[in-house]
Amino acid sequence: MNDLNSTTVLDAPDRVPVTKKDLTADHPTWCPGCGDFSVLAFYYKLLTNRQVPHEKVTTVAGIGCSSRFPYFVQAHGAHYIHGRALPFASGVSLSRPDLHVFVFGGDGDAFSIGGNHLNHTARRNVKMTYVIMDNYVYGLTKKQTSPTSPIGFKSKTDAWGSKDRPINPMKQLISSGATFVARTSHTNPNHLLAMMEAAMDHNGFSVIECLSECVEFYPGAFNDSNPRKGGVFNQVPEDHDVTDEYAAYRLADNNFPGYFGIFYKKEVPTKNQNEADIEALFADKVAGKQSWQILQQSFNRMK
């Protein structure tokens, strides 16, 4: 299932290579300086590096500034319901094993309203890549506290400063069963691209938390992780064992700016493969039937 070779055109030399120009759609409506521009630029780069056939580029998002992403990619995609991008993307992934679905969205979309879907998509290990563009705030709705906003953050929902403890995205993603968990920042484009490349190569649910500054409602939030602003960008130590879940938790236990890189990676059967196995097992029982007849048969059984 989902053999990445089948999603590249490298084996079809008669095809014209896909260029950034082919993939560029509307001019992004983000504020000048928003971190999301960098994520988009390196998504174009990833797709052209990999020469994903244009008709197979599939970009899904929920709702938020970051979730406007699919509008800016000239290809298939959906700007779906707030927090519901993952169930939609799961349907696409399970029904089209020849695609590698990419999902983009914000911290609110992922960890607040979409938190439950995130947990279940992770434990099911549906093959796709999810890039969470984390700005520690609700940007689109103009500055409410998000699940990643730090204690003391003053917003429209916490005028005197937030008292709620923020989640730890890495710990939460690892414990939910995600089989590839990485952290990066929009300020380090090479690292961002490397994480997206590695996530795409992972056979399973790969998720990246990408710090992406909201210059309008939380400027300077990530300065401490940016060497150009006097901060430090510490990469995951080379001797870190990415298959060791507890080592990944320990890595995630460091205060901001923490570490950047792949925290955890594990090979587990994908939901896509499990479903294909079930289908193969019962193939002879439905041989010669149309999909609607199989469905009708299932409904009849439930009567």
Ligand X SMILES: Cc1ncc(C[n+]2csc(CCOP(=O)(O)OP(=O)(O)O)c2C)c(N)n1
Using CB under 5 A as the criterion, which residues of the chain lie in contact with Mg ion when the complex forms?
106-107, 135
Q: Is 30 in the site for ligand SF4 (CB under 6 A)?
A: yes
Q: Which of 237, 239, 69 is nearest to 140 (CA)?
A: 69
**Is 82 one of the binding residues for ligand X (CB under 6 A)?**
yes
31 in contact with ligand SF4 (CB under 6 A): yes
CA gap 198, 47 in Å, rounded: 13
Q: Determine the interface stretch with ligand X among 9-17, 60-68, 175-183, 238-246 (rule: CB under 6 A).
A: 60-68
Q: Is residue 34 within the footprint of ligand SF4 (CB under 6 A)?
A: yes
Task: Tell me if 121 contacts ligand X by CB under 6 A.
Answer: no
DSSP state of 112: I
Q: What is the rounded CA–CA span in Å between residue 228 and residue 216?
A: 20
Burial class (CB within 10 angstroms; exposed 0-12, middle 13-18, buried 19+) of 170:
buried
Residue 35 interacts with ligand X (CB under 6 A): yes or no: no
Give the up-direction half-sphere exposure of residue 163: CA atoms within 13 A in the CB hemisphere: 2
Task: Of 102, 100, 88, 89, give the one whose Cα is nearest residue 39.
Answer: 102
Which residue(s) pair with 104 in the sheet?
Answer: 61, 131
Q: Which residue has the tokens 């590249």?
A: 8
Q: Please, which residue, 137 or 193, has the CB nearer to ligand SF4?
A: 137
For ligand SF4, which residue of 78, 215, 236, 247 counts as binding (CB under 6 A)?
215
Q: Which stretch binds ligand SF4 (CB under 6 A): 96-104, 113-121, 195-203, 214-222?
A: 214-222
Could you say which of 65, 181, 221, 251 contacts ligand X (CB under 6 A)?
65
Q: Which stretch binds ligand X (CB under 6 A): 6-14, 138-146, 268-276, 288-296?
A: 138-146
Does the protein bind ligand X through residue 162 (CB under 6 A)?
Answer: no
Binding flag, residue 109, ligand X (CB under 6 A): yes
Within 8 A by CB and 6+ apart from 297, the residues are: 286, 289
User: Which one of the spans 89-97, 148-156, 160-168, 215-223 is the region binding ligand SF4 (CB under 6 A)?
Assistant: 215-223
Q: Do residues 212 and 251 lie in contact, with contact meaning Cβ atoms separated by under 8 Å? A: no
- Least distance from ligand SF4 to the Cβ atom of residue 155, Å: 13
User: Interacting stretch for ligand X, rule CB under 6 A, among 86-94, 106-114, 173-181, 291-299?
Assistant: 106-114
The token duo for 107 is 């911290």
Beta bridge partners of 181: 207, 264
Q: Does 135 bind ligand X (CB under 6 A)?
A: yes
Among 7, 38, 66, 203, binds ligand X (CB under 6 A): 66
Residue 148 to residue 234: CA distance in whole angstroms: 20
Q: Which helix (H) or strand (E) holds 175?
A: helix 169-176
Q: Which stretches of the chain bind ligand SF4, using CB under 6 A?
A: 30-31, 34, 36, 65, 135, 139, 214-217
